[in-house]
Amino acid sequence: SMNIKKITTGSRNLDELLGGGIETKTITELFGEFGSGKTQICHQLSVNVQLPEDKGGLEGKAVYIDTEGTFRWERIEQMARGVGLDPDEVMKNIYWIRAINSHHQIAIVDKLFTMVKNDNIKLVVVDSVTSHFRAEFPGRENLAMRQQLLNRHLHQLMRLADIFNVAVVITNQVMARPDVFYGDPTQAVGGHVLGHAPGVRVYLKKSRGNKRIARVVDAPHLPEGETVFAITEWGIRD
Ligand code: ATP
Ligand code: MG
C-alpha cells in the first residue's frame, strides 16, 4: 500500500526474499533457535535505518527494546564502520531501552507513541518479544493469559507501525527440538507468535559456520523459498 518503505538487511539475498527489505507499517517477526541471528539482524537494522534512502535506509533513528540484555554497543560500532557511517553518530541515533519485565515492556511501547510522534524514529525493535511473558506466565495453565497479554502488546505495536509509518521488528526464540515444546504452539518450530495477525514471519536457521538460512512463512505476497545469508565481523552480508 501507499508510503510503505523498506530497510536493507545488509544481505541482498535476504532483501530479495523480503521483497526489498524490512517494511514500514508492518511487524516483522524473526523467529528461530538460539544463535540463529535474530539479535544480529536487529543490530544491523538499527544501523541501516540511518543510511540514506539510496543506500537502503530511511535516514531515521531506531528504538531498541532489549528484554534479554543482549544489546551490544561494540557490535553497533563494528556494523556502523561496516557501512561507512560514523559510529558515534550512529550510536546517538539508537535509543536503547532495557525492559525489566513484561509490564515494563508494555509501558515502554505505550510511551513510544509520544516519542515517535516527536522524533524521526523509523524502526522499533523488540528483542525478544516473548522472553518476559514466557518467564512470568509459564506452562500450559498460563498460556491463555500470556497469549491475551501478548496479543494486546502486538496490537499496540501494529498501531505504532501503522500510524507513524515505522518498521517494527520483533524476535521470538523457538526450540529446535519439537519433542520439548510441551504443547505450547508459540515455542514449536514454525510456531511464531504473530499467529494470524498481519505481518511478515521470517524463520531463521543455523547452517554451516557463519551461514544462516532464512525462510518467509505464511506470506501470500512474497515468493516462497529459502535463502542464505552470513553473519560476518562487519555485520549481515550475503
Ligand atoms: P538467541 O535466541 O539466543 O537470542 P539469536 O538468534 O538472537 O539467539 P544472535 O545473537 O543473533 O542469535 O547470533 C549469535 C551469533 O552471531 C553468534 O553465534 C555468532 O556466530 C554471530 N556473531 C555475533 N557477534 C559476531 C561478531 N562480532 N562477528 C561475527 N559473528 C558474530
Ligand atoms: Mg538474541
pLDDT band at residue 175 under the 50/70/90 scheme: confident
Q: Which atom of ligand 1 is nearest to the CA of 35?
A: 12
Name the residue with cell 541482498: 12
pLDDT-above-90 percentage for the chain: 81
Q: From the DSSP assignment, how many helices (H) and strands (E) are in the chain?
A: 7, 11
CA of 2 from ligand 2 middle (Å) equals: 32
Residue 75: pLDDT above 90? yes
Contact 40, 171 (CB under 8 A): no
Residue nearest to atom 1 of ligand 1 (CA): 34
Domains of the chain: 1-237 (3.40.50.300)
**SS3 assignment, position 166:** coil
Averaged confidence pLDDT in the chain: 91
- Dist. CA 123–CA 63, nearest whole Å: 6
Name the grid cell of 190. 514454525
> Mind listing the pLDDT tens digit for each residue in 98-146?
999 999 999 999 999 999 999 999 999 999 999 999 999 988 899 889 9
CA of 141 from ligand 1 middle (Å) equals: 33
DSSP letter (8 states) at residue 113: H
Radius of gyration of the chain (CA): 17
